[in-house]
């Protein structure tokens, strides 16, 4: 069974659709896990939520989802992020608001624990190295942890340390060393590669593949201009920063 793992979609439905097509080009996707930050920054929050509903995805909350529905104070964000969060929040239907408000912060899907930040601070802490991976492994009931939040695509293991996926992607085994992994960001990558990032877990092959899908960045930027979203958020998509 192949599971699509996405994170930090950030209201970028053009990128999400490109990821779905890219993942399905190699075979059917039977499950979808989303590690939070469905909304925020981008121009199409409702379309992204509706895609996840259509996919019957397992979704956990990110900090942007919590801010958009008022679970977290907007004061936690800087200028452009706050402005985009306010705009994103205003686009949500009542049903979408209820949905985002009720998202869990952690979900166990063996052999993984899914969390946006880290197990000890699910919404805010960035997992950026081996020390935090060790802390996470000590706090979870499964061998591996999958996180989002940093918008960097990597794997981290005890033997190999933290390794960025790089332009060619990266495949690791899930039946050996303990892993902490980040599929990267679908809608706003920050590792210098503007392509949408995602991962596929194949439980029969026991592999986790970190992959990239090109998408029409200009289309998302045009939608952001139409929505009146802040210019720095529009420009950064072309840079992958
Ligand atoms: Zn994010």
Q: What is the CATH number of the domain that holds 43?
A: 3.60.21.10
Ligand 1 centroid from CA 117, angstroms: 10
Using DSSP bridges, classify how beta strands 112-115 and 106-109 pair: parallel, antiparallel or unpaired: antiparallel
Per-residue pLDDT of 3-45, as tens digits, reads 999 999 999 999 999 999 999 999 999 999 999 999 999 999 9
Per-residue pLDDT of 107-130, as tens digits, reads 999 999 999 999 999 999 999 999
Report, as an integer, the average pLDDT of 235-241.
96
Ligand 1 centroid from CA 10, angstroms: 7
Alpha helix ranges (H) inside 3-93 = 13-24, 45-54, 63-68, 79-91
Ligand 1 centroid from CA 204, angstroms: 30
Ligand 1 centroid from CA 24, angstroms: 24
Ligand 1 centroid from CA 62, angstroms: 7
Ligand 1 centroid from CA 151, angstroms: 6
Q: Are 56 and 205 in contact (CB under 8 A)?
A: no
Confidence of residue 78 (pLDDT cuts 50, 70, 90): confident
Domain that holds residue 229: 2-239
In degrees, rounded to 5, the angle at the alpha carbon of residue 99 between the alpha carbons of residues 95 and 102 is 140
Per-residue pLDDT of 134-188, as tens digits, reads 999 999 999 999 999 999 999 999 888 999 998 999 999 999 999 999 999 999 9
Residue 96 pLDDT > 90, yes or no? yes
Q: Which of 11, 144, 164, 35 is nearest to 90 (CA)?
A: 11
Ligand 1 centroid from CA 41, angstroms: 9
Q: How many angstroms from the chain centroid is the CA of residue 207?
A: 19
Ligand 1 centroid from CA 37, angstroms: 5
Ligand 1 centroid from CA 64, angstroms: 7
Ligand 1 centroid from CA 87, angstroms: 16
Ligand 1 centroid from CA 65, angstroms: 9
Rounded CA-CA distance 31/28 in Å is 9
Ligand 1 centroid from CA 138, angstroms: 24
Residue 56 pLDDT > 90, yes or no? yes
Q: Say whether pTM exceeds 0.95.
A: yes
Q: How many domains does the chain have?
A: 1
């Amino acid at each position: 069974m192949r599971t699509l793992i996405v994170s930090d979609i950030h209201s970028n439905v053009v990128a999400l659709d490109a990821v779905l097509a890219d993942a399905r080009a190699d075979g059917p996707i039977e499950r979808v896990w989303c590690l939070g930050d469905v909304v925020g920054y981008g121009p199409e929050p409702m379309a992204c939520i509706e895609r996840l509903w259509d996919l019957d995805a397992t979704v956990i909350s990110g900090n942007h989802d919590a801010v958009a529905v008022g679970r977290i104070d907007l004061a936690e964000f800087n200028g452009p992020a706050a402005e985009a969060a306010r705009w994103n929040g205003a686009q949500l239907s009542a049903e979408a608001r209820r949905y985002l408000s009720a998202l869990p912060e952690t979900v166990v899907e063996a052999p993984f624990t899914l969390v946006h930040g880290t197990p000890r601070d699910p919404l805010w802490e960035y997992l950026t190295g081996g020390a935090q991976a060790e802390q996470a492994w000590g706090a979870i009931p499964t061998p591996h942890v999958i996180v989002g939040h940093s918008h960097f695509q990597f794997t981290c293991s005890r033997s190999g340390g933290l390794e960025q996926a790089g332009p060619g992607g990266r495949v690791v085994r899930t039946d050996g060393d303990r892993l902490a992994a980040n599929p990267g960001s679908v809608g706003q990558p920050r590792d210098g590669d503007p392509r949408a990032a995602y991962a596929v877990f194949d439980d029969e092959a026991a592999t986790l593949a970190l992959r990239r899908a090109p998408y029409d960045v200009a289309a998302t930027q045009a939608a952001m201009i139409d929505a009146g979203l802040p210019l720095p958020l529009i420009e950064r998509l072309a840079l992958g920063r």
